[in-house]
Amino acid sequence: MTLILEAVVFGVLTGGVYALMASGLTLIFGVMRIINVGHGALVILGAYLSYALLSSGAHVDPFVSLLITMPAMFILGVVLQLAFIRPLKEDREALSVLVTYAVALGIEGLLGFIFTNNFVQLNAWYQTASFAIFGFHIAYVYVFGFALCVAILVAMFLMLYRTPFGAAIRATMLNRTAAQLVGVNVDRVSAVAFGIGVATAAAGGVVFGMTNSFDPGSHYDLISRLLTIIVLGGLGSLRGAIIGAVVMLIVEDLASVVVSPVWASFAFFVILVVVLVVRPQGLYGIRVRERI
């Protein structure tokens, strides 16, 4: 029983970082109707940037390094959007998958070239230090990471629901043409939304990099999980992404306790299949008859 309770607690704590990463991905989908297959690679890039700052002479704490990496990744996101996504005119949906896949490969190759393919991890004092609760130990890093993710998610929701720019983003997500008609600069909204999505990937990368060891090829595993989460939640739904992430991680942790750790990831995909058979549009998705 304690084991199961522990699995649920860890599911929620680690679900937080997946919720953050999946939110960025689903925001990008919602605004631009493109799947950013490079999101996993951008998360890993964020983790490596913090790793570089940590192992440099300055020895920057991973959380503090976000002050540098998040703005940098925001700019990178805007540049990627302007250079590769915006020029796509015909067959955007399919081509964007290929373009972002190419970006992922480029990042993987570059990281492999600079940092080699050895596994690394972001180390800090709060990684090993832990506190006891209900009879089991939780490392501080999980709590700090969870708090950071919740803080960024709250900031994102406040921005979306309490600011005029957030309203413009939501309008673009609902209906791009109509938003344009009422005077929303959808091109600018798209670029900034992509930038925000990539900046949250940097934050996700720090938490991911402190709780997992990673190498440049880690993005395949990561992106398959993130994509599964946003399909489970319903493409383009932020609420769906958050709930999907927490549900998935709890299921994964439970499966690893009850069945076996090697089948944990598989449980993840089984849930996806079940959901698709019952509700092809995902938990919070709207069934769209046209090309969604």
Contacts with other proteins, residue ranges (CB under 8 A): 29, 33-35, 37, 84, 87-95, 97-99, 101-103, 105-106, 108-113, 117, 176, 216, 220-221, 223-224, 227-228, 230-231, 235, 262-263, 265-266, 269, 272-273, 276-277, 280, 282, 289-292
Report the candidate in 261, 257, 157, 254 with the shortest Cα–Cα distance to residue 200.
Answer: 157
Of 83 and 133, the one with the shorter C-beta distance to other proteins is 83
Cβ contact 74:195 at 8 Å: yes
Of 161 and 269, the one with the shorter C-beta distance to other proteins is 269
Of 124 and 176, the one with the shorter C-beta distance to other proteins is 176
Cβ of residue 46: shortest distance to other proteins, in angstroms? 19
Whole-number Cα distances in Å, 9 to 6, 146, 205, 226, 266: 5, 11, 21, 20, 20
* Residue in the block written with tokens 């890993």: 44
Of 138 and 217, the one with the shorter C-beta distance to other proteins is 217
Cβ contact 199:42 at 8 Å: no
Cβ of residue 41: shortest distance to other proteins, in angstroms? 10
Cβ of residue 196: shortest distance to other proteins, in angstroms? 20
Radius of gyration of the chain (CA): 19
* Residue in the block written with tokens 């972002």: 100
Cβ of residue 99: shortest distance to other proteins, in angstroms? 6
Of 17 and 37, the one with the shorter C-beta distance to other proteins is 37
In sequence order, the 6+-apart residues with CB closer than 8 A to the CB of 255 are 263, 264, 266, 267
DSSP state of 117: S
| 188: its two tokens | 């600018």
Cβ of residue 59: shortest distance to other proteins, in angstroms? 27
- Cα(137)–Cα(160) distance, integer angstroms: 36
* Residue in the block written with tokens 């570089």: 52
Of 65 and 172, the one with the shorter C-beta distance to other proteins is 172
Cβ contact 283:229 at 8 Å: no
DSSP state of 137: E
Whole-number Cα distances in Å, 193 to 77, 139, 228: 9, 33, 21
Whole-number Cα distances in Å, 232 to 25, 201, 203, 262, 267: 13, 19, 23, 22, 13
Cβ of residue 243: shortest distance to other proteins, in angstroms? 17
Cβ of residue 248: shortest distance to other proteins, in angstroms? 12
Cβ of residue 110: shortest distance to other proteins, in angstroms? 6
Of 141 and 271, the one with the shorter C-beta distance to other proteins is 271
Of 13 and 242, the one with the shorter C-beta distance to other proteins is 242
